[in-house]
Structure 1
Amino acid sequence: MKTLKFKLYQHKRNRHLKRMINAAGVIYNHCIALHKRYYRRWGKHLSCAKLQSHIAKLRKRNPFWQSVGSQALQDICQRIEKAYQLFFKHNKKGVRPPGFKKVKKYKSFTLKQAGYKFLNGNRVKIGQRVYQFWKSREIEGTVKT
């Protein structure tokens, strides 16, 4: 597996994408708060499936959260679950549970299968909008995320 990064051109039209990233950061912090609250109340770990179903219900009522796709939302929950499992496995070695992040420092979220499409040249369609990126090298193979 090979990981490549491409930088978007700086433009005021990117504000929609930045809004989506901020919404993903807010959702991430809300999921962390739910984990902490659930453990404080019930003394158990909150399962990933229960968290995903709860966040999907909340997403229906909040238009700001609807800017983030459903698969991206599931990926946020799965990343938190993976971090908690790492914490449970290596607790003696000093691994800390996942914590809150400043939304300002939240830089990206993952689009798995839906939500993006590469167009000809150096353009990518994310959601309903088309963005241009700095194509420093050719994209080889098929893009998974």
Structure 2
Amino acid sequence: MITLKFKLYQHKRNKYLKRSINAAGVIYNHCIALHKRYYRRYGKHLNCAQLQAHIAKLRKRKPFWQLLGSQAVQDICQRIEKGYQLFFKGHKKGVRPPNFKKVKKYKSFTLKQAGYKFVGGNRVKIGDRVYQYWNSREIEGKVKTLSIKRTPLGELFMVVVVDSVIEASVGFETGKSAG
């Protein structure tokens, strides 16, 4: 697994990606509120599958949430679940549970299998729009995930996780080993 990071070109159409990141922040905060409400009411932890089913129902009624793909929404639920599992495991060490985040400071969303397509050259199609990125190196291998990240300055980066097999060749040039 190799992670490659590319900067997206500055363009007016980037506002759609920024809106998607904002939608991810709203969904994240809603999931945290549901977790807290469920624990207060029933005294139990909210299951990830139940949360995903509930968010899928809500997503049908809220057009702003539909800016994100369904797998990106599921990834948000899984990240919250992972945060709670770390909290339960390290509670005595002072680990805090996941908490609310400001939507403007929310950083990223991840597309797993669907929602993106590499068009060719330095172009990627995310949703219905084509975005250009600074193609500093070739993407070799099968793309596992694609994340869009926002920096505090408002710049957008595309982080691609690639499953590639790179064989490390260990060779002796002198025939002698050192150490």
Question: Which TM-score bucket, shorter chain as reference?
Answer: over 0.9
**Which residue number corresponds to residue 54 of structure 1?**
54
* Aligned mates of 1:2, 1:105 — CA distance in 2: 27
**Which residue number corresponds to residue 3 of structure 2?**
3
Answer yes or no: is 1:39 the counterpart of 2:7. no
Query: SS of the counterpart of 2:92?
Result: helix
Query: SS of the counterpart of 1:29?
Result: helix
Query: SS of the counterpart of 1:138?
Result: coil
Residue 121 of structure 1, CA deviation:
0.5
* Aligned mates of 2:120, 2:92 — CA distance in 1: 50
Query: SS of the counterpart of 2:120?
Result: coil
Structure 2: runs of 5+ lacking an equivalent: 146-179
The count of corresponding residues between Structure 1 and Structure 2 is 145
Residue 4 of structure 1, CA deviation:
1.4
Structure 1: runs of 5+ lacking an equivalent: none
Q: Which amino acid aligns with 1:69?
A: G
User: Which structure shows the bigger proportion of residues in strand conformation?
Assistant: 2
Residue 140 of structure 1, CA deviation:
2.0
Residue 13 of structure 1, CA deviation:
1.0
**Which residue number corresponds to residue 28 of structure 1?**
28
* Aligned mates of 2:128, 2:6 — CA distance in 1: 20
**Which residue number corresponds to residue 74 of structure 1?**
74
**Which residue number corresponds to residue 101 of structure 2?**
101
TM-score (norm 1): 0.97
Identity of aligned residues (%): 85
What does the per-residue CA deviation read over 1:74-102, in whole Å, with 9 as the maximum and x for residues that have no partner?
00000000110011011111111011111
Which protein has the larger Cα radius of gyration, Structure 1 or Structure 2?
A: 2
What does the per-residue CA deviation read over 1:32-75, in whole Å, with 9 as the maximum and x for residues that have no partner?
01001110111000000000000000000000001110000000
**Which residue number corresponds to residue 121 of structure 1?**
121
* Aligned mates of 1:38, 1:98 — CA distance in 2: 15
TM-score (norm 2): 0.79
Q: Which amino acid aligns with 2:120?
A: N
User: Which structure shows the bigger proportion of residues in helix conformation?
Assistant: 1
What does the per-residue CA deviation read over 1:82-131, in whole Å, with 9 as the maximum and x for residues that have no partner?
11001101111111101111111112101000000111100000011110
Q: Which amino acid aligns with 2:17?
A: L
Residue 17 of structure 1, CA deviation:
1.0
The CA RMSD over aligned residues, in Å, is 0.7
Residue 134 of structure 1, CA deviation:
1.0
Spell out structure 1 runs of 4+ moving beyond 4 A: none
Query: SS of the counterpart of 1:5?
Result: strand
